[in-house]
Amino acid sequence: MSEEHTHTRTIAVDLVARVEGEGALRVTVKGDAVQDVQLKIFEPPRFFEAFLQGRHYDEVPDIVARICGICPVAYQMSAVHALEQIFGLRVEGALRDLRRLIYCGEWIESHALHVYLLQAPDFLGYENGIAMAKDHPVVVTRGLRLKKAGNAIMTLLGGRSVHPVSVKVGGFSRVPLRRELEGMKDELLWARDAAVETVRWVAGFDYPEFTSDYNDVALHHPDEYPFNEGQIVASSGLQISVNEFERHFTEHQVPYSTALHCTLQGSPYLVGPLARLNLNLEHLTPLAKQVLADCAVSLPMRNPFHGIIARSVEILYALEESLRLIERYEPPPVPAAPITVQPGIGMACTEAPRGILYHRYKVDGDGVIREAKIVPPTSQNQSRIEQDLRLFMPRLLSLPDKKAAQACERVIRCYDPCISCATHFLNLEIRRESSA
């Protein structure tokens, strides 16, 4: 759609496809200068925060799993770790391993979907994954089989793949037998090789020349690539405990979006696979490091379009980590550690597929939730996405409206925004005002 007025030109594109959920983008251009970029997001974790108040703590994992169909484990993991902090419980040993394993399943599932069906079409010149599948059925079949390997882990540990039901405060309602985990090994070995192919495949794409001075933010653990534990670190040098999150990260209301924008000491920052990889390179497996070296990927990555490479490397890491955890698995004596309810406030940050996910709960002496706060990764990346669009727009201004809008969509998709955890559309509007 395009309307032309004397001074203002507005381009509205009804849909930005292949992002999670509902939102809208409005870009205002005056002459050859970008005046404003507003990403509007309708964000439901806010509604869930209210919905959680008055609920018993043991209902929380099941409720938060319904916030997002793509990353239910992330919501469950941040919730159980925050609640366990209140109850003075630390989950160790095989139960801790199983939590890493189910998170691997979610990363594999979520990343494979994004790499193969949501973002690869941008690099191969297709309108969407459906058009790509017609020409590249073998590639798409490989992507779906990879995703299925992640689903298998989620289903075995979580009881089902969509919103897992067996995660609980203290552990799981049921833990797998050793032979059940071993039964997945052959498929995971296939998937590991397919993940190596995936990294090689995406590293060969043509990438736009575009770098930005990101402040990467991720968890960092001394011994392992982070899932559930670690300090929050930033490439700016910040190094804090998760309990200090709200002292450094501030949420702001913006008039055009129901989602709060989160900034680190007043500035945009980046969370997600690219930031996580840049800050945790030393914890990659030898194979992952080798594949990256073979593909001549320069590190740290500073081009947002390289997010697809980071995501592919994380698929490979998650598969290798799954195999390692399965290899050493001995079922724990009990599926869940006992809980002693006590009142208090607890917080946790875990690495959702799209970046750090912060939860804070206040619980009373009966184990009832009095307050809940959830800061999802996409609201943390929002300012960063807007900043990237501001930097990227000048090169798009000479393009016809439709092409410019498509290029904006491609920038947004680099972040795999889970604008959902909500509902439906992302509308895109470019408003051009003449400089006269």
Partner 1 sequence: MRKNGPRSSSIRIIGLGNDLRGDDAVGLLTVRRLRHTIGDRAEVIEAGMVGVDLIELMKGASAVILIDAARSGKAPGSIYRLDASVSPIGGQVFPRSSHAIGVSEAIELARAMDVLPATVIVYGVEVGTTEVGQPLSPPMGEALDQVVKQIIQECEACHA
What residues make contact with partner 1 under the rule CB under 8 A? 15, 17-22, 44, 47-48, 51, 63, 66, 68-70, 113, 117-118, 128-131, 133-134, 137, 140-141, 144, 147-148, 151, 160-163, 420-425
Choice between 71 and 218, CB closer to partner 1: 71
Shortest reach from residue 250's CB to partner 1, in Å = 26
Shortest reach from residue 187's CB to partner 1, in Å = 14
Q: Which residues pair with 336 in a beta bridge?
A: 171
Choice between 18 and 168, CB closer to partner 1: 18
Shortest reach from residue 2's CB to partner 1, in Å = 22
Choice between 143 and 304, CB closer to partner 1: 143
Farthest CA pair distance, the chain: 75
- What three-state secondary structure class fits 35? strand
Choice between 21 and 176, CB closer to partner 1: 21
Choice between 70 and 411, CB closer to partner 1: 70
Rounded Cα gap, residues 55 and 63, in angstroms: 10
Q: Hey, CA dihedral for 135, 138, 143, 144, is it positive or negative?
A: positive
Choice between 44 and 332, CB closer to partner 1: 44
Shortest reach from residue 132's CB to partner 1, in Å = 8
Shortest reach from residue 244's CB to partner 1, in Å = 30
Q: Among residues 12, 429, 48, which one has the least CA distance to residue 256?
A: 429
279 contacts: CB under 8 Å, gap ≥ 6: 216, 217, 218, 220, 233, 234, 235
Rounded Cα gap, residues 104 and 319, in angstroms: 7
Shortest reach from residue 305's CB to partner 1, in Å = 19
Tell me the residue type at 83: L
Rounded Cα gap, residues 305 and 309, in angstroms: 8
Choice between 133 and 337, CB closer to partner 1: 133
**CA 358 centroid distance within chain:** 12
Contact 412, 385 (CB under 8 A): yes
Shortest reach from residue 68's CB to partner 1, in Å = 8
Shortest reach from residue 284's CB to partner 1, in Å = 28
Tell me the residue type at 259: A
Q: Is the peptide bond before 300 cis (omega within 30 degrees of 0)?
A: yes
Choice between 90 and 160, CB closer to partner 1: 160
Rounded Cα gap, residues 39 and 19, in angstroms: 13
Q: Among residues 115, 38, 126, 91, which one has the least CA distance to residue 336?
A: 91
Q: 26: buried, middle or exposed (CB in 10 Å: 19+, 13-18, 0-12)?
A: middle
